[in-house]
Chain A
């Protein structure tokens, strides 16, 4: 396993990029620590797959350097980098058995057959497919095929990193849970460096220790799931993570109070907010619907089983709140913002609130 340093990498698919918008990856500078579980999260076109392909060597960056354990691998081919990758759609060798699929990368590297046997058996155990070893791989279900793709990476003891490119796209919801928890267990037990690309926040947050949120070719924030949830650095992170996303409303600041129309909202501190474009962000989970607080008009209540999502207007602004499944919206609904859940943004970037 390896530490991966992405040194000021820029990439453009154009031969002669001129302006900033010609770059699919504007400038990424980041270290993936040895043994870490990372997710690259963002909407399509944000550059996350470009970055993954640069790490795996399927793409050579226009600018910058890539280091594995301090060694420059920018010019090395995919084979020489010794990485494993699981793709969006299962890649299996149709005509081979499950066993031969897993043995393939080892045999290609001239590993002696006895060693191949030992490693393949061990890997089959890890991915829970021992009983299927002799089956033709094409007869398996989508989730099993994805495990084979993963297994072909795990079987090599010397892989530097395992990369995932939206691996759960074709998997049914129930199997997603199984596969995700198995992945996590593998990571914990064997300490692989894993980088996981997805547009699905649930997958990213549940899989990774560190989530790298990307937008428009740049990293917007890197943090633990809790940090991204509680302290989004940019309103985009607030919107993109969480379902529904963070409520963002324009306010004006006076000391430790934010003004929204005729309402005053208590803040946990006094932000040093300058400029006109000041916004208050609060997640629906921190908006409490009850009989106290600011009056709202409820437009819709969505019962999604484990909780209810309340859509309402507050001072002419659409906001969402989350309510537990047993609670009811009162006759004259009001909302209260939990101060701990409030963030203040100037020009979309979060600003600190002094005590």
Chain B
């Protein structure tokens, strides 16, 4: 809101520009550079043109990892958004319950990624983990190390446990900003609980929901730490997401060229999808 035109402002922004140049633009250019060359070590590089890109786009391994990413993002959005809305709707709006709920909700968000991974890795083990042991004791054959389905369930439950709170907090912020008069008017109009949600709460939450979806999408699409810690991408390749594959390729196999091409494609996909979300959001804003 407060825009003040001032020459000095540019000097103040300059350090940030320099920082961004070093932290983003220059590495990105390095990656671009790698992606069009081949190397066998010894700092010897050969021009490879678009070879790596063609290879990448033709490889099953890439598309499978991509498919897993898409599926993962879709599933966690499909669970976390409705669940987050549901929890937000049922949180108390006043009284002592408010701070208690808010703190409980904020807790998972405060735990670092790798710790979350470790917690679940232990929690889900069927020999010493409380969850794994209990589930098996109940007669279910659960083993995330061997069964791909179990591995997926574990990774998804972990993400839902870790990140639904974010959706809840954002939705809650949207909900508490709705004036009482709206609920009173809805009562007077004889609106059902569903109508109140559909025509009052959802429209008022729309903006924060878009932000929540955008954040959760980008984050889940870039998922790395948790599956890396818990399943290491396995069993087989069942939880090998793009990021894990990328690291395997770049550090494990030291295929710098293909890895660079892959990270560029990966980067472009996230950029493209974020742009789509951004456009939707700003269009929505302009309409208001």
Contact = CB atoms under 8 A, between A and B. Distances in A.
Q: Do chains A and B touch in the complex (CB under 8 A)?
A: yes
Contacts of B184: 56, 58, 78, 85, 87
Give the residue among A91, A104, A138, A153 with the most B Cβ atoms within 10 A: A91
Given A108-B192, A108-B195, A91 B203 contact: no
B93 interface: no
Interface string A72-111: 0000011100011101110101111000000011001100
Given A95-B203, A96-B199, A105 B182 contact: no
B181 interface: yes
Contact of B181 (A78, A87, A104, A109): A87
Interface residues of B, number: 17
A85 B203 contact: no
A79 B188 contact: yes
B199 A152 contact: no
Interface string B200-228: 10011000000000000000000000000
B95 interface: no
A149 interface: yes
Decide if the interface of chain A is mainly helix, strand, loop or mixed.
mixed
Interface in B172-192: 179, 181-182, 184-185, 187-192
B8 interface: no
Contacts of A95: 199, 203
Given A89-B179, A89-B181, A91-B182, A78 B199 contact: no
B288 interface: yes
Contacts of B200: 93
Given A58-B184, A93-B199, A93-B200, A104 B179 contact: no
27 contacts: A56-B188, A78-B187, A79-B190, A83-B188, A85-B184, A85-B185, A85-B188, A87-B181, A87-B184, A87-B185, A89-B179, A91-B182, A91-B185, A93-B200, A93-B203, A94-B203, A94-B204, A95-B199, A95-B203, A104-B189, A104-B195, A105-B188, A105-B190, A108-B189, A108-B190, A108-B191, A152-B185
Contacts of B189: 104-105, 108, 152
A155 to B, nearest CB: 10
Find the residue from B195, B199, B204 having the highest chain A CB count within 10 A: B199
Interface of B: 179, 181-182, 184-185, 187-192, 195, 199-200, 203-204, 288
B288 A138 contact: yes
A153 B184 CA distance: 13
Interface in A274-305: none
Contacts, number: 51
| Interface size grouping (class) on chain A | 20 to 34
A171 to B, nearest CB: 16
- The interface residues of chain B, by DSSP majority, are classed as helix
Given A56-B184, A108-B195, 12 more contacts: A56-B188, A77-B187, A78-B187, A83-B188, A84-B188, A89-B179, A93-B199, A93-B200, A95-B199, A96-B199, A108-B192, A153-B188
A158 to B, nearest CB: 11
A115 B288 CA distance: 32
Contacts of A108: 189-192, 195
B125 to A, nearest CB: 48
B100 to A, nearest CB: 22
A108 B190 CA distance: 6
Nearest to B191: A108
A109 B190 contact: yes
Contacts of A94: 203-204
A117 B199 CA distance: 20
Contacts of A85: 184-185, 188
Nearest to B179: A89
7 closest residue pairs by CB, A with B: A87-B181, A108-B190, A105-B189, A91-B185, A78-B187, A93-B199, A94-B203
A138 B287 CA distance: 10
B99 to A, nearest CB: 22
Contacts of A78: 184, 187-188
Nearest to A84: B188
B96 to A, nearest CB: 16
A15 B200 CA distance: 31
Nearest to B189: A105
A108 B151 CA distance: 46
Nearest to B204: A94
Interface string A29-64: 000000000000000000000000000101000000
A91 B186 CA distance: 9
A104 B191 contact: yes
A89 to B, nearest CB: 6
B185 A149 contact: yes
Nearest to A90: B181
